[in-house]
Amino acid sequence: MLRTRTYVVGMIFCLALLIGGRLVHGETVTQSESPDAVAEVVIPSDPTPAMGPVVAEDPIPTKSLWNMLWAGGPLLVPILVCSFVLLLVVFERTVSLRRGRVLPRPFVKRLLLQLRENQIDRDEALQRCEENSSHVSRVFAAALRKWGRPAVEVEQAILDEGERVFNTLRRYLRAINGVATVSPLLGLLGTVWGMMAAFNAIATTDAMGRPELLAGGISQALLTTAAGLFVAIPALILYLFFIGRVDKLVMDIDARGQELVNLISAEALQDRKQGKSSGGTSKTRQAA
């Protein structure tokens, strides 16, 4: 019996400890199981005062690209047109100013070699130039029409045709320069337009206390300025690149034209004939 009582007391003591621990840690203890009323005792586990409810922050509003363009105002439309024109001209000039289209090396090298070794005559060389569609073939054709003339006339023919080729190579580059010049001016005009709208909002309404009324005009001013510079800077870089490429191609054409002058001018033909005659005479003397 003593052991039984000891076990009972020990169990009661353990239950008391468990119940007390639950109460200390904020657990809920049911005092009565009657259907009339149920009392719950809640003891907070953290002695610090409870924090207030956490309020979720609103997401940051964003704008799509179309909304940004629409907010730029009417002056953003001509800037977009300038960017479209820039893309078209750059694509066309990139294709047209390829070296293989302007100065094909196989054609030039073969023609000059055959003329140097007297493998073709004037008519055949002129026919090959006319069949070729490159720009250097036009210059060579103009020089071949002066076959046997003094070097000054042949050079003048090359210079005249080279000037026409130069103008052809620089075609549409003024459009790129125009885009690089006009786009910042359109952006500046949009800036002035937006600032006028902002100051008009200040003058007509109490906009100093309502920043949203000023934000529209300032946003329009900044968008048009950024768009104008975004189009103008690449346009200026591409213009300088294409101008340098055209100058290099023209210099190469002029160098090949000078080689042709040294082959078909009257002085060059006479020197070659004298060289052949002197070579034949020396061979005859050596045979004798």
Pairing of strands 40-41, 29-30: antiparallel
Q: What is the pLDDT of residue 67?
A: 56
Do 11 and 18 contact (CB within 8 A), yes or no?
Answer: no
Q: What is the mean pLDDT of the chain?
A: 75
SS3 assignment, position 283: helix
pLDDT at 117 over 50: yes
Q: What are phi and psi of 29, to 5 degrees?
A: -115, 130
Do 227 and 86 contact (CB within 8 A), yes or no?
Answer: no
Q: How confident is the model at residue 42 (pLDDT cuts 50, 70, 90)?
A: very low
**92-104 residue pLDDT tens:** 999 999 998 999 9
Alpha helices in the chain (DSSP H): 2-24, 65-71, 76-96, 99-102, 105-116, 122-131, 135-144, 151-169, 173-204, 211-264, 266-287
How open is the CA angle 110-116-122, to the nearest 5 degrees? 85
Q: Which residues contact 150 (CB under 8 A, 6 or more apart)?
A: 265, 266, 267
In terms of Cα–Cα distance, which of 33, 57, 54, 79 is closest to 224? 79
The secondary structure of residue 118, as a DSSP letter, is T
SS3 assignment, position 218: helix
pTM: 0.67
Q: How confident is the model at residue 87 (pLDDT cuts 50, 70, 90)?
A: very high
Tell me the domain boundaries of the chain.
Answer: 73-96+105-270
**175-184 residue pLDDT tens:** 999 999 999 9
Tokens of 41: 């005792």
Among 41-55, 183-197, 235-249, name the most confident range: 235-249
Q: What is the torsional sign of CA 110, 116, 122, 124?
A: negative
pLDDT at 186 over 60: yes
Angle between helices 211-264 and 76-96 in degrees, nearest 10: 20
Q: How confident is the model at residue 229 (pLDDT cuts 50, 70, 90)?
A: very high
Q: Which of the two residues, 51 and 186, has the higher pLDDT score? A: 186
Do 192 and 198 contact (CB within 8 A), yes or no?
Answer: no
